[in-house]
Every structure is written in structure tokens, then in C-alpha cells.
Amino acid sequence: MIRRILAVGAVAAFSVTACTGGDAGDPPAEEAPSQAAEPQDAAMEPASVSIVVPEDGAVVDQGPLLVVMEVTGVTIAPAGTMDPGTGHHHLIVDGEVDWTLPIPNDPGVHYHMGLAQTEFTLEDLTPGEHQIVAVVADGVHIPLNPPVADTITVVVR
């Protein structure tokens, strides 16, 4: 009887230890699945684009200005590609965006990165403040819906 109690006690102690061990091991164990789930979560996030260079509000010297875009949730593909979830970058400098029509091709205002480029050098910004809008549009240059866009302002001196 005593032996059985001890045995039960030992099992209980073991269980507690196992649980404690399990608890102690939980944080890393939970991190691993959540990290593994992150790509899924990212895939389920709405698509987005960010102008990562230059910074919003940057003051830059006159001359070629490199603009670098980064996306999530959308795959950048050459113009003409109509696969769902793809598009190509556009930059609109001090211009309007019609979200339902193909982005025009008028250098100086609307620029297409039709070869799936993820960066572009603006060559001719005049001194002063400029608005730069990055827009991801589909294979026929119609902005994705919902819009995938980012806006920054730069000051050229």
C-alpha cells in the first residue's frame, strides 16, 4: 500500500516535472510554429508596396535620384503578365493616379518598370518639393485593386 502510494506519488511527481518541463519548453516550442506560420500570415496579408529609398521627407541634392521599392503579398513580374497576384512597379511624380484606368506612359510624370525592375532612377527632378507615388499595377498597367501604393515626399535642393 505504501509502495503503491509512493509509486503514485512518483508518477505524480514525474507528471509535474514533465509538465514543468513542458511549460519551460513551451516558449521556444510555441515560437517555432508561429515562425513557421509567419510566411502563411504574410501571404494572407493584403499586398503592399513601400518606397524604401529615399526616406519620406528626404532632402536630396539635385541629380539622379534612385528610388527603391519593396513589396509584400504580390509578385513583381514583367508588363504583360496577367497571373493573379502579380504586377509591376510604377512611379508617379507630381501626377494623378486614376485607380481604374491603365497608368499612362508619359515620362516625367508616369514611369513604368515594365521589365519587373524594383528600382528606378529619376533623372530630372527640379529643385523643390516633389510627391512620388509607387503603384503596383497589373500586366496591362491598371492599378491593383485594392490599391497597392505608397507615397513619399522629397525635397530637391
- Pick 60 or 109: Cβ nearer Cu ion: 109
Between the two ends of the chain, the Cα-to-Cα distance in Å is 91
For residues 61 and 96, which CB has a smaller minimum distance to Cu ion in the complex? Answer: 96
DSSP state of 143: B
Please identify, using beta-carbon distances, which residue of 9 and 80 lies nearer to Cu ion.
80
Residue 115 has phi, psi (to 5 degrees) of -100, 15
Tell me which residues in 78-117 interact with Cu ion (CB under 5 A): 112
CA 30 – CA 14 distance, rounded (Å): 23
Query: Minimum distance between the CB of residue 24 and Cu ion, rounded to whole angstroms?
Result: 54
Binding to Cu ion in span 18-77, by CB under 5 A: none
CB closer to Cu ion, 60 vs 86: 86
Q: What residue type is assigned to position 64 of the chain? A: P
The minimum distance between CB 82 and Cu ion, in angstroms, equals: 12
C-alpha cell at 1: 500500500
Q: Positive or negative CA dihedral for 131, 134, 140, 145?
A: negative
Helices (H), the chain: 2-44
Shortest distance (Å) from residue 113 CB to Cu ion:
7
Using CB under 5 A as the binding rule, the residues of this chain from 117 to 156 that contact Cu ion are 141
**Interface with Cu ion by CB under 5 A: which residues?**
112, 141
